[in-house]
Chains A and B, each alone.
Chain A
Amino acid sequence: MSHIVSLRQAIAENVRDGDILALEGFTHLIPFAAGHEVIRQGRRNLSLVRMTPDLIYDQMIGMGCATRLTFSWGGNPGAGSLYRFRDAIENDWPHPLQIEERSHADIASAYVAGAANLPFSVIRGYAGSDLPKYNDKIRFITCPFTQERLAATPAIRPDVTVIHAQKADRRGNVLLWGILGVQKEAVLAAKRVVVTVEEIVDELHAPHNACVLPRWVISAVAPVPGGAFPSYALGYYERDNRFYKTWNSIARDRDTFTQWMQRHVLNTADFAEFRRTLEGGPHEERHA
Protein backbone atom coordinates (compact mmCIF):
# COMPACT_ATOMS: atom_id res chain seq x y z
CA MET A 1 0.00 0.00 0.00
CA SER A 2 3.05 2.21 0.16
CA HIS A 3 2.71 3.22 -3.46
CA ILE A 4 -0.83 4.59 -3.21
CA VAL A 5 -0.08 8.30 -3.20
CA SER A 6 -1.57 11.63 -4.24
CA LEU A 7 -1.56 12.44 -7.95
CA ARG A 8 0.74 15.39 -7.26
CA GLN A 9 3.30 13.11 -5.65
CA ALA A 10 2.89 10.41 -8.31
CA ILE A 11 3.69 12.87 -11.12
CA ALA A 12 6.45 14.66 -9.17
CA GLU A 13 8.24 11.39 -8.48
CA ASN A 14 7.80 9.72 -11.86
CA VAL A 15 7.60 12.25 -14.70
CA ARG A 16 10.77 14.21 -15.50
CA ASP A 17 11.68 16.86 -18.03
CA GLY A 18 12.78 15.23 -21.30
CA ASP A 19 10.97 11.94 -20.65
CA ILE A 20 9.28 9.80 -23.27
CA LEU A 21 5.78 9.97 -21.85
CA ALA A 22 2.71 7.98 -22.97
CA LEU A 23 -0.79 8.77 -21.72
CA GLU A 24 -2.98 6.07 -23.23
CA GLY A 25 -6.73 5.43 -23.32
CA PHE A 26 -8.62 4.80 -26.56
CA THR A 27 -11.44 7.39 -26.23
CA HIS A 28 -12.31 5.63 -22.93
CA LEU A 29 -10.45 6.11 -19.60
CA ILE A 30 -8.29 8.98 -20.88
CA PRO A 31 -6.05 10.20 -18.02
CA PHE A 32 -7.06 13.88 -18.11
CA ALA A 33 -6.35 14.54 -14.43
CA ALA A 34 -2.80 13.21 -14.76
CA GLY A 35 -2.22 15.28 -17.90
CA HIS A 36 -3.33 18.41 -16.03
CA GLU A 37 -0.91 17.63 -13.22
CA VAL A 38 1.94 17.34 -15.73
CA ILE A 39 0.98 20.80 -17.01
CA ARG A 40 0.69 22.24 -13.48
CA GLN A 41 4.14 20.94 -12.57
CA GLY A 42 5.55 22.62 -15.69
CA ARG A 43 7.23 19.62 -17.32
CA ARG A 44 9.17 20.51 -20.49
CA ASN A 45 10.82 18.83 -23.51
CA LEU A 46 8.59 15.80 -23.27
CA SER A 47 8.48 13.28 -26.11
CA LEU A 48 4.80 12.46 -26.05
CA VAL A 49 3.46 9.19 -27.42
CA ARG A 50 -0.20 8.41 -27.95
CA MET A 51 -2.21 6.62 -30.65
CA THR A 52 -4.98 9.20 -30.56
CA PRO A 53 -3.77 12.52 -29.20
CA ASP A 54 -7.00 14.25 -28.24
CA LEU A 55 -7.90 17.16 -25.98
CA ILE A 56 -5.42 16.36 -23.20
CA TYR A 57 -2.52 16.33 -25.68
CA ASP A 58 -3.90 19.48 -27.32
CA GLN A 59 -3.63 21.07 -23.87
CA MET A 60 -0.14 19.74 -23.12
CA ILE A 61 1.17 20.78 -26.56
CA GLY A 62 -0.45 24.21 -26.36
CA MET A 63 1.07 24.76 -22.91
CA GLY A 64 4.55 24.03 -24.25
CA CYS A 65 5.20 20.71 -22.47
CA ALA A 66 6.19 18.77 -25.59
CA THR A 67 8.88 19.03 -28.24
CA ARG A 68 8.08 15.73 -29.91
CA LEU A 69 4.95 13.71 -30.65
CA THR A 70 4.57 10.14 -31.88
CA PHE A 71 0.98 9.45 -32.95
CA SER A 72 -1.34 7.81 -35.45
CA TRP A 73 -4.56 9.91 -35.38
CA GLY A 74 -4.78 13.46 -34.08
CA GLY A 75 -8.30 14.85 -33.88
CA ASN A 76 -11.14 15.79 -31.59
CA PRO A 77 -13.19 12.59 -31.95
CA GLY A 78 -16.56 13.34 -33.51
CA ALA A 79 -16.18 17.08 -32.98
CA GLY A 80 -13.40 18.38 -35.26
CA SER A 81 -9.77 19.44 -35.17
CA LEU A 82 -7.19 19.82 -32.44
CA TYR A 83 -6.31 23.48 -32.92
CA ARG A 84 -3.29 23.60 -30.56
CA PHE A 85 -1.80 20.46 -32.15
CA ARG A 86 -2.40 21.98 -35.59
CA ASP A 87 -0.99 25.38 -34.58
CA ALA A 88 2.19 23.67 -33.33
CA ILE A 89 2.63 21.74 -36.60
CA GLU A 90 1.42 24.43 -39.00
CA ASN A 91 2.92 27.51 -37.26
CA ASP A 92 5.46 26.27 -34.65
CA TRP A 93 3.37 27.74 -31.79
CA PRO A 94 4.27 27.89 -28.91
CA HIS A 95 7.41 26.27 -30.30
CA PRO A 96 8.22 23.69 -33.00
CA LEU A 97 6.82 20.21 -32.48
CA GLN A 98 8.66 17.38 -34.17
CA ILE A 99 6.24 14.68 -35.24
CA GLU A 100 6.71 10.99 -35.83
CA GLU A 101 3.63 9.76 -37.59
CA ARG A 102 2.64 6.10 -37.75
CA SER A 103 -0.55 4.03 -38.19
CA HIS A 104 -2.78 2.53 -35.47
CA ALA A 105 -1.76 -1.01 -36.39
CA ASP A 106 1.90 -0.01 -36.14
CA ILE A 107 1.75 1.79 -32.78
CA ALA A 108 -0.38 -0.98 -31.24
CA SER A 109 2.20 -3.55 -32.38
CA ALA A 110 5.11 -1.35 -31.29
CA TYR A 111 3.76 -1.29 -27.73
CA VAL A 112 3.40 -5.10 -27.89
CA ALA A 113 7.06 -5.29 -28.96
CA GLY A 114 8.06 -2.93 -26.15
CA ALA A 115 6.16 -4.97 -23.57
CA ALA A 116 7.81 -8.14 -24.94
CA ASN A 117 11.29 -6.60 -24.62
CA LEU A 118 11.92 -6.69 -28.37
CA PRO A 119 13.70 -3.89 -30.24
CA PHE A 120 11.25 -3.69 -33.10
CA SER A 121 7.84 -4.70 -34.32
CA VAL A 122 6.90 -6.45 -37.57
CA ILE A 123 3.61 -5.85 -39.33
CA ARG A 124 2.00 -6.28 -42.70
CA GLY A 125 1.65 -2.58 -43.11
CA TYR A 126 2.35 0.62 -45.00
CA ALA A 127 2.46 -1.00 -48.45
CA GLY A 128 1.50 1.71 -50.93
CA SER A 129 1.36 4.44 -48.28
CA ASP A 130 3.43 7.65 -48.36
CA LEU A 131 4.08 7.46 -44.60
CA PRO A 132 7.43 5.60 -44.95
CA LYS A 133 8.65 8.43 -47.22
CA TYR A 134 8.25 10.91 -44.37
CA ASN A 135 9.11 8.72 -41.39
CA ASP A 136 12.50 7.06 -41.83
CA LYS A 137 11.86 4.80 -38.85
CA ILE A 138 9.37 2.86 -40.93
CA ARG A 139 11.55 0.37 -42.78
CA PHE A 140 11.03 -2.86 -44.64
CA ILE A 141 12.61 -6.23 -44.00
CA THR A 142 12.55 -9.59 -45.73
CA CYS A 143 11.23 -12.56 -43.78
CA PRO A 144 14.13 -15.06 -43.39
CA PHE A 145 11.72 -17.96 -43.86
CA THR A 146 9.26 -16.89 -46.56
CA GLN A 147 11.08 -13.94 -48.19
CA GLU A 148 7.95 -11.79 -47.74
CA ARG A 149 8.49 -8.05 -47.46
CA LEU A 150 7.23 -6.74 -44.12
CA ALA A 151 7.29 -3.39 -42.34
CA ALA A 152 9.58 -3.07 -39.31
CA THR A 153 9.31 -0.19 -36.85
CA PRO A 154 10.97 0.57 -33.52
CA ALA A 155 9.36 -0.77 -30.35
CA ILE A 156 7.84 1.90 -28.11
CA ARG A 157 9.48 1.95 -24.67
CA PRO A 158 8.16 4.94 -22.72
CA ASP A 159 10.06 6.23 -19.71
CA VAL A 160 6.65 6.65 -18.16
CA THR A 161 3.18 5.39 -19.07
CA VAL A 162 0.14 6.94 -17.42
CA ILE A 163 -3.32 5.38 -17.57
CA HIS A 164 -6.65 5.78 -15.80
CA ALA A 165 -8.54 2.71 -14.52
CA GLN A 166 -11.74 1.97 -12.64
CA LYS A 167 -10.40 0.36 -9.45
CA ALA A 168 -7.37 -0.46 -7.36
CA ASP A 169 -7.28 -2.52 -4.20
CA ARG A 170 -5.47 -1.32 -1.09
CA ARG A 171 -2.27 -3.08 -2.11
CA GLY A 172 -2.28 -1.29 -5.47
CA ASN A 173 -3.44 -4.00 -7.88
CA VAL A 174 -5.46 -2.36 -10.67
CA LEU A 175 -8.59 -3.51 -12.52
CA LEU A 176 -9.91 -1.96 -15.74
CA TRP A 177 -12.66 -3.03 -18.13
CA GLY A 178 -14.62 -1.92 -21.18
CA ILE A 179 -12.68 -0.58 -24.15
CA LEU A 180 -9.09 -1.33 -23.12
CA GLY A 181 -7.14 0.13 -26.05
CA VAL A 182 -3.40 -0.39 -25.66
CA GLN A 183 -3.22 0.33 -21.93
CA LYS A 184 -1.94 -3.05 -20.77
CA GLU A 185 0.78 -3.09 -23.44
CA ALA A 186 1.74 0.55 -22.83
CA VAL A 187 2.06 -0.17 -19.09
CA LEU A 188 4.20 -3.26 -19.59
CA ALA A 189 6.42 -1.47 -22.15
CA ALA A 190 7.28 1.38 -19.75
CA LYS A 191 10.06 1.87 -17.22
CA ARG A 192 7.74 3.66 -14.76
CA VAL A 193 3.95 3.53 -14.51
CA VAL A 194 1.41 5.88 -12.93
CA VAL A 195 -2.23 4.78 -12.68
CA THR A 196 -5.08 7.02 -11.57
CA VAL A 197 -8.24 5.21 -10.45
CA GLU A 198 -11.87 6.04 -9.80
CA GLU A 199 -11.76 4.37 -6.40
CA ILE A 200 -9.72 2.27 -4.00
CA VAL A 201 -11.58 -0.82 -2.78
CA ASP A 202 -10.93 -3.59 -0.28
CA GLU A 203 -11.36 -6.32 -2.89
CA LEU A 204 -11.28 -6.04 -6.70
CA HIS A 205 -13.67 -8.99 -7.19
CA ALA A 206 -12.18 -9.33 -10.66
CA PRO A 207 -13.75 -12.02 -12.86
CA HIS A 208 -11.39 -14.67 -14.21
CA ASN A 209 -9.27 -13.39 -17.12
CA ALA A 210 -10.18 -9.79 -16.38
CA CYS A 211 -7.58 -7.12 -17.15
CA VAL A 212 -5.77 -6.85 -13.81
CA LEU A 213 -2.36 -5.16 -13.60
CA PRO A 214 -0.35 -6.53 -10.67
CA ARG A 215 0.87 -3.88 -8.23
CA TRP A 216 4.52 -4.75 -8.87
CA VAL A 217 4.39 -3.46 -12.47
CA ILE A 218 3.07 -0.10 -11.24
CA SER A 219 5.14 2.70 -9.70
CA ALA A 220 2.31 4.72 -8.18
CA VAL A 221 -1.47 4.54 -7.89
CA ALA A 222 -3.41 7.73 -7.24
CA PRO A 223 -7.14 7.85 -6.50
CA VAL A 224 -8.76 10.56 -8.66
CA PRO A 225 -12.55 10.15 -8.89
CA GLY A 226 -13.74 11.48 -12.25
CA GLY A 227 -10.11 11.60 -13.42
CA ALA A 228 -11.00 10.65 -16.99
CA PHE A 229 -13.44 13.56 -17.45
CA PRO A 230 -14.44 14.71 -20.08
CA SER A 231 -13.88 11.21 -21.50
CA TYR A 232 -15.68 8.43 -19.68
CA ALA A 233 -15.21 5.56 -17.28
CA LEU A 234 -17.49 2.62 -18.03
CA GLY A 235 -19.63 1.90 -14.97
CA TYR A 236 -18.98 5.36 -13.47
CA TYR A 237 -19.85 8.20 -15.86
CA GLU A 238 -20.45 8.92 -19.54
CA ARG A 239 -18.46 10.94 -22.05
CA ASP A 240 -19.21 14.68 -21.83
CA ASN A 241 -19.86 15.31 -25.50
CA ARG A 242 -20.61 18.96 -24.82
CA PHE A 243 -17.11 19.52 -23.48
CA TYR A 244 -15.59 17.92 -26.60
CA LYS A 245 -17.72 20.10 -28.87
CA THR A 246 -17.01 23.27 -26.86
CA TRP A 247 -13.27 22.57 -26.90
CA ASN A 248 -13.09 23.73 -30.54
CA SER A 249 -14.10 27.26 -29.57
CA ILE A 250 -11.72 27.35 -26.58
CA ALA A 251 -8.68 26.01 -28.43
CA ARG A 252 -9.08 27.78 -31.78
CA ASP A 253 -7.64 31.06 -30.51
CA ARG A 254 -4.25 31.24 -28.72
CA ASP A 255 -5.32 33.84 -26.15
CA THR A 256 -8.65 32.21 -25.35
CA PHE A 257 -6.84 28.92 -24.89
CA THR A 258 -4.10 30.37 -22.69
CA GLN A 259 -6.57 32.22 -20.48
CA TRP A 260 -8.74 29.12 -20.15
CA MET A 261 -5.76 26.98 -19.13
CA GLN A 262 -4.58 29.62 -16.66
CA ARG A 263 -8.00 29.93 -15.06
CA HIS A 264 -8.96 26.26 -14.97
CA VAL A 265 -5.71 24.31 -14.76
CA LEU A 266 -2.76 26.46 -13.61
CA ASN A 267 -4.83 28.38 -11.04
CA THR A 268 -6.43 25.27 -9.59
CA ALA A 269 -4.74 23.05 -7.02
CA ASP A 270 -6.05 19.74 -8.28
CA PHE A 271 -8.59 18.02 -10.51
CA ALA A 272 -11.43 18.38 -8.00
CA GLU A 273 -10.96 22.14 -7.99
CA PHE A 274 -10.69 22.14 -11.80
CA ARG A 275 -14.07 20.41 -11.93
CA ARG A 276 -15.59 22.97 -9.56
CA THR A 277 -14.52 25.82 -11.85
CA LEU A 278 -16.56 24.21 -14.64
CA GLU A 279 -19.85 24.10 -12.78
CA GLY A 280 -21.26 26.82 -15.01
CA GLY A 281 -20.10 24.97 -18.16
CA PRO A 282 -16.84 24.95 -20.10
CA HIS A 283 -17.10 28.68 -20.89
CA GLU A 284 -17.78 29.73 -17.32
CA GLU A 285 -14.63 31.87 -17.20
CA ARG A 286 -16.10 34.32 -19.70
CA HIS A 287 -18.67 35.41 -17.15
CA ALA A 288 -16.39 35.23 -14.14
Chain B
Amino acid sequence: MTVNTYSTSEMMTVAAARRLRDGATCFVGIGLPSTAANLARLTHAPRVSLIYESGTIGAKPSVLPLSIGDGELAASADTVVSTPEIFRYYLQGGRIEVGFLGAAQIDRFANINTTVIGPYAKPKIRLPGAGGAPEIAALAGEVLIIMEQSARSFVKQLDFATSAGFLDGGDARERAGLPGKGPVAVITDLCILEPDPVTRELTVVSIHPGVEHAAIAAATGWPVRFAARVNTTNPPGASELDALRELLRRTEAAHERGEKGKSAVV
Protein backbone atom coordinates (compact mmCIF):
# COMPACT_ATOMS: atom_id res chain seq x y z
CA MET B 1 0.00 0.00 0.00
CA THR B 2 1.51 3.34 -1.00
CA VAL B 3 -0.01 6.36 0.65
CA ASN B 4 0.98 9.91 -0.10
CA THR B 5 -1.29 11.66 2.34
CA TYR B 6 -0.86 11.57 6.08
CA SER B 7 -2.06 13.52 9.09
CA THR B 8 0.02 15.91 11.20
CA SER B 9 -0.41 13.49 14.08
CA GLU B 10 1.03 10.64 11.98
CA MET B 11 3.95 12.87 10.98
CA MET B 12 4.62 13.60 14.67
CA THR B 13 4.53 9.94 15.71
CA VAL B 14 6.73 8.80 12.83
CA ALA B 15 9.27 11.60 13.42
CA ALA B 16 9.42 10.73 17.13
CA ALA B 17 9.79 6.99 16.44
CA ARG B 18 12.78 7.68 14.19
CA ARG B 19 14.66 9.24 17.11
CA LEU B 20 14.68 6.00 19.09
CA ARG B 21 17.77 4.01 18.12
CA ASP B 22 17.72 0.24 17.81
CA GLY B 23 18.94 -1.62 20.86
CA ALA B 24 18.25 1.23 23.31
CA THR B 25 16.73 0.67 26.74
CA CYS B 26 13.78 3.05 26.82
CA PHE B 27 11.51 4.02 29.73
CA VAL B 28 8.17 4.77 28.07
CA GLY B 29 5.26 6.95 29.16
CA ILE B 30 1.70 5.97 28.23
CA GLY B 31 -0.08 7.66 25.32
CA LEU B 32 1.89 9.35 22.52
CA PRO B 33 5.33 8.15 23.78
CA SER B 34 4.09 4.56 23.89
CA THR B 35 2.71 4.79 20.34
CA ALA B 36 5.96 6.23 18.98
CA ALA B 37 8.20 3.80 20.88
CA ASN B 38 6.21 0.80 19.69
CA LEU B 39 6.23 2.10 16.12
CA ALA B 40 10.03 2.28 16.39
CA ARG B 41 10.11 -1.31 17.64
CA LEU B 42 7.91 -2.46 14.75
CA THR B 43 10.01 -0.66 12.12
CA HIS B 44 13.70 0.22 12.43
CA ALA B 45 14.36 -0.72 16.06
CA PRO B 46 13.32 -4.36 16.65
CA ARG B 47 15.89 -4.80 19.43
CA VAL B 48 14.77 -1.83 21.51
CA SER B 49 13.90 -2.77 25.11
CA LEU B 50 10.71 -0.99 26.18
CA ILE B 51 10.26 -0.50 29.90
CA TYR B 52 7.00 0.70 31.47
CA GLU B 53 6.74 1.97 35.03
CA SER B 54 4.46 -0.93 35.89
CA GLY B 55 7.70 -2.96 35.94
CA THR B 56 7.42 -4.65 32.55
CA ILE B 57 10.85 -4.94 30.94
CA GLY B 58 11.14 -5.71 27.22
CA ALA B 59 7.41 -5.38 26.60
CA LYS B 60 6.41 -6.27 23.02
CA PRO B 61 2.70 -5.53 22.93
CA SER B 62 0.91 -6.35 19.67
CA VAL B 63 -1.64 -3.64 20.47
CA LEU B 64 -1.12 -0.39 22.37
CA PRO B 65 -1.97 -0.55 26.06
CA LEU B 66 -4.83 1.63 27.30
CA SER B 67 -3.24 1.75 30.74
CA ILE B 68 0.36 1.45 31.84
CA GLY B 69 -0.32 -1.95 33.41
CA ASP B 70 -2.38 -3.81 30.82
CA GLY B 71 -2.05 -7.58 30.91
CA GLU B 72 -0.64 -7.49 27.36
CA LEU B 73 2.46 -5.64 28.64
CA ALA B 74 3.14 -8.25 31.29
CA ALA B 75 2.40 -11.18 29.00
CA SER B 76 4.74 -9.94 26.24
CA ALA B 77 7.58 -8.77 28.53
CA ASP B 78 10.97 -10.42 29.04
CA THR B 79 10.31 -10.08 32.76
CA VAL B 80 8.13 -8.17 35.21
CA VAL B 81 9.71 -6.60 38.28
CA SER B 82 8.15 -4.68 41.17
CA THR B 83 7.65 -0.91 41.11
CA PRO B 84 10.43 -0.26 43.70
CA GLU B 85 12.78 -2.39 41.62
CA ILE B 86 12.06 -0.63 38.30
CA PHE B 87 12.63 2.81 39.85
CA ARG B 88 15.47 1.99 42.24
CA TYR B 89 17.59 -0.56 40.37
CA TYR B 90 16.85 0.22 36.74
CA LEU B 91 16.13 3.96 36.57
CA GLN B 92 18.11 5.23 39.56
CA GLY B 93 20.70 2.51 38.90
CA GLY B 94 21.51 4.25 35.62
CA ARG B 95 20.35 1.43 33.34
CA ILE B 96 17.90 3.50 31.26
CA GLU B 97 19.34 5.11 28.12
CA VAL B 98 16.26 6.96 26.88
CA GLY B 99 13.24 8.37 28.67
CA PHE B 100 10.25 8.99 26.38
CA LEU B 101 7.80 11.52 27.84
CA GLY B 102 4.75 13.61 27.01
CA ALA B 103 3.48 16.71 28.86
CA ALA B 104 0.64 19.20 29.17
CA GLN B 105 2.97 22.24 29.14
CA ILE B 106 6.59 22.84 28.16
CA ASP B 107 8.75 25.96 28.39
CA ARG B 108 11.66 27.21 26.27
CA PHE B 109 14.18 25.22 28.32
CA ALA B 110 12.15 22.00 28.01
CA ASN B 111 11.01 21.91 31.61
CA ILE B 112 7.59 20.21 31.69
CA ASN B 113 4.35 20.45 33.63
CA THR B 114 1.97 17.54 34.28
CA THR B 115 0.63 18.78 37.63
CA VAL B 116 -1.76 21.75 37.49
CA ILE B 117 -3.02 24.53 35.25
CA GLY B 118 -3.44 27.60 37.45
CA PRO B 119 -2.21 28.07 41.02
CA TYR B 120 -1.29 24.88 42.92
CA ALA B 121 -3.49 25.59 45.94
CA LYS B 122 -6.54 26.40 43.83
CA PRO B 123 -5.94 24.91 40.40
CA LYS B 124 -8.04 25.74 37.37
CA ILE B 125 -7.35 22.23 36.10
CA ARG B 126 -5.95 19.51 38.28
CA LEU B 127 -3.78 17.26 36.04
CA PRO B 128 -2.78 13.71 37.10
CA GLY B 129 0.58 14.77 38.55
CA ALA B 130 4.18 13.63 38.49
CA GLY B 131 3.99 9.85 38.15
CA GLY B 132 7.45 8.70 37.19
CA ALA B 133 8.34 11.80 35.18
CA PRO B 134 10.59 13.83 37.59
CA GLU B 135 13.02 10.96 38.03
CA ILE B 136 12.83 9.81 34.40
CA ALA B 137 13.62 13.38 33.29
CA ALA B 138 16.47 13.58 35.81
CA LEU B 139 18.02 10.12 35.52
CA ALA B 140 17.51 8.70 32.02
CA GLY B 141 20.62 9.04 29.84
CA GLU B 142 18.64 11.30 27.54
CA VAL B 143 15.03 12.31 27.09
CA LEU B 144 12.70 12.53 24.09
CA ILE B 145 9.52 14.56 24.43
CA ILE B 146 6.53 14.19 22.13
CA MET B 147 3.56 16.57 22.34
CA GLU B 148 1.22 18.62 20.20
CA GLN B 149 2.33 22.21 19.77
CA SER B 150 0.08 25.15 20.58
CA ALA B 151 0.38 28.51 22.34
CA ARG B 152 -1.45 26.90 25.29
CA SER B 153 1.03 24.05 25.67
CA PHE B 154 4.27 25.81 24.63
CA VAL B 155 4.24 28.51 27.28
CA LYS B 156 6.49 31.35 28.39
CA GLN B 157 6.00 30.45 32.06
CA LEU B 158 4.97 27.01 33.34
CA ASP B 159 2.18 26.97 35.92
CA PHE B 160 4.16 24.26 37.69
CA ALA B 161 7.57 22.74 36.88
CA THR B 162 6.97 19.02 37.48
CA SER B 163 10.05 17.65 35.76
CA ALA B 164 13.33 19.30 34.86
CA GLY B 165 14.63 20.02 31.41
CA PHE B 166 17.42 22.59 31.42
CA LEU B 167 15.96 24.69 34.28
CA ASP B 168 17.01 28.31 33.55
CA GLY B 169 19.19 27.28 30.61
CA GLY B 170 22.95 27.32 30.09
CA ASP B 171 24.65 24.93 32.52
CA ALA B 172 21.89 25.18 35.15
CA ARG B 173 21.00 21.50 34.76
CA GLU B 174 24.58 20.33 35.34
CA ARG B 175 24.96 22.68 38.32
CA ALA B 176 21.80 21.24 39.86
CA GLY B 177 23.46 17.82 39.75
CA LEU B 178 21.01 16.09 37.41
CA PRO B 179 22.77 12.97 36.15
CA GLY B 180 21.10 12.55 32.72
CA LYS B 181 21.77 14.69 29.66
CA GLY B 182 18.17 15.94 29.63
CA PRO B 183 15.89 16.46 26.64
CA VAL B 184 17.65 15.97 23.30
CA ALA B 185 14.59 16.57 21.11
CA VAL B 186 11.00 17.75 21.31
CA ILE B 187 8.92 16.29 18.50
CA THR B 188 5.61 18.01 17.73
CA ASP B 189 2.94 17.90 15.04
CA LEU B 190 4.63 20.92 13.38
CA CYS B 191 8.38 20.49 13.79
CA ILE B 192 11.33 19.13 15.73
CA LEU B 193 13.07 21.32 18.31
CA GLU B 194 16.45 20.63 19.89
CA PRO B 195 18.22 22.49 22.70
CA ASP B 196 20.85 25.00 21.60
CA PRO B 197 24.26 23.56 22.58
CA VAL B 198 25.13 26.63 24.70
CA THR B 199 21.96 28.40 25.84
CA ARG B 200 19.91 25.15 25.88
CA GLU B 201 16.94 27.05 24.53
CA LEU B 202 14.69 24.91 22.35
CA THR B 203 15.40 25.74 18.71
CA VAL B 204 13.52 24.61 15.63
CA VAL B 205 15.86 22.36 13.65
CA SER B 206 13.45 20.59 11.32
CA ILE B 207 10.05 21.59 9.97
CA HIS B 208 7.48 19.06 8.82
CA PRO B 209 6.56 19.33 5.12
CA GLY B 210 4.04 22.06 4.33
CA VAL B 211 4.30 23.82 7.72
CA GLU B 212 5.00 27.58 7.61
CA HIS B 213 7.45 29.33 9.97
CA ALA B 214 4.60 31.61 10.99
CA ALA B 215 2.45 28.67 12.10
CA ILE B 216 5.22 27.48 14.42
CA ALA B 217 5.75 30.98 15.81
CA ALA B 218 2.00 31.31 16.43
CA ALA B 219 1.92 27.96 18.23
CA THR B 220 4.73 28.91 20.61
CA GLY B 221 4.21 31.11 23.67
CA TRP B 222 7.68 32.66 23.46
CA PRO B 223 9.59 34.16 20.47
CA VAL B 224 10.78 30.81 19.13
CA ARG B 225 14.23 30.59 17.57
CA PHE B 226 14.98 28.82 14.32
CA ALA B 227 18.36 27.20 13.68
CA ALA B 228 20.63 28.80 11.06
CA ARG B 229 19.97 25.81 8.83
CA VAL B 230 16.50 24.35 9.21
CA ASN B 231 15.79 21.00 7.57
CA THR B 232 12.54 19.76 6.15
CA THR B 233 11.48 16.59 7.95
CA ASN B 234 11.29 13.57 5.65
CA PRO B 235 7.61 12.76 5.19
CA PRO B 236 6.45 9.39 6.56
CA GLY B 237 7.47 6.53 4.27
CA ALA B 238 4.94 3.97 3.09
CA SER B 239 6.31 1.29 5.41
CA GLU B 240 6.25 3.64 8.42
CA LEU B 241 2.66 4.66 7.72
CA ASP B 242 1.55 1.10 7.10
CA ALA B 243 3.10 -0.06 10.38
CA LEU B 244 1.54 2.82 12.33
CA ARG B 245 -1.93 2.43 10.83
CA GLU B 246 -1.85 -1.33 11.28
CA LEU B 247 -0.85 -0.87 14.93
CA LEU B 248 -3.65 1.62 15.58
CA ARG B 249 -6.17 -0.55 13.73
CA ARG B 250 -5.22 -3.63 15.81
CA THR B 251 -5.40 -1.53 18.97
CA GLU B 252 -8.85 -0.17 18.21
CA ALA B 253 -10.17 -3.63 17.33
CA ALA B 254 -8.74 -5.14 20.51
CA HIS B 255 -10.09 -2.41 22.77
CA GLU B 256 -13.53 -2.68 21.18
CA ARG B 257 -13.48 -6.42 21.70
CA GLY B 258 -12.52 -5.84 25.31
CA GLU B 259 -15.41 -3.44 25.78
CA LYS B 260 -18.25 -5.57 24.50
CA GLY B 261 -20.49 -7.10 27.11
CA LYS B 262 -17.76 -7.39 29.72
CA SER B 263 -19.59 -5.46 32.38
CA ALA B 264 -22.19 -8.19 32.52
CA VAL B 265 -19.70 -10.78 33.73
CA VAL B 266 -20.28 -11.67 37.36
Contact = CB atoms under 8 A, between A and B. Distances in A.
A112 B161 contact: no
B173 to A, nearest CB: 7
A281 B66 contact: no
B130 interface: yes
Interface residues of B, number: 63
Nearest to B116: A89
B32 to A, nearest CB: 12
A242 B261 CA distance: 9
Interface in B73-120: 73-75, 80-84, 87-88, 91-92, 111, 115, 120
A148 interface: yes
Given A125-B138, A240-B262, A245-B259, A75 B84 contact: no
Contacts of A112: 84, 88
Summarize A's interface: helix, strand, loop or mixed.
loop
Interface in A20-38: 26-28
A104 to B, nearest CB: 4
A148 B178 CA distance: 11
Given A105-B135, A108-B87, A130-B160, A243 B69 contact: no
A226 interface: yes
A182 interface: yes
A182 B82 contact: yes
Residue of B73, B82, B260 most packed against chain A (CB within 10 A): B82
A94 interface: no
A215 interface: no
B130 A226 contact: no
A109 interface: yes
Contact of A79 (B66, B124, B179, B265): B66
B71 interface: yes
A13 B164 CA distance: 45
B69 A26 contact: yes
Contacts of B53: 104
B263 A134 contact: no
Given A103-B135, A179-B54, 17 more contacts: A51-B83, A73-B131, A78-B65, A90-B123, A105-B87, A127-B176, A128-B161, A129-B164, A130-B160, A131-B130, A180-B83, A182-B82, A239-B71, A241-B259, A242-B260, A242-B263, A275-B265
Per CB-CB distance, the 7 closest pairs between chain A and chain B, nearest first, are A128-B164, A27-B69, A77-B67, A78-B66, A75-B128, A242-B259, A73-B131
Interface of B: 30, 53-56, 65-71, 73-75, 80-84, 87-88, 91-92, 111, 115, 120, 122-126, 128-135, 137-139, 160-164, 167, 173, 176-179, 255, 258-260, 262-266
Interface of A: 26-28, 51-52, 71-75, 77-79, 81, 85-86, 89-90, 101-105, 108-109, 111-112, 123-131, 134, 148-149, 178-182, 184-185, 226, 229-230, 232, 234, 237-245, 272, 275-276, 278-282
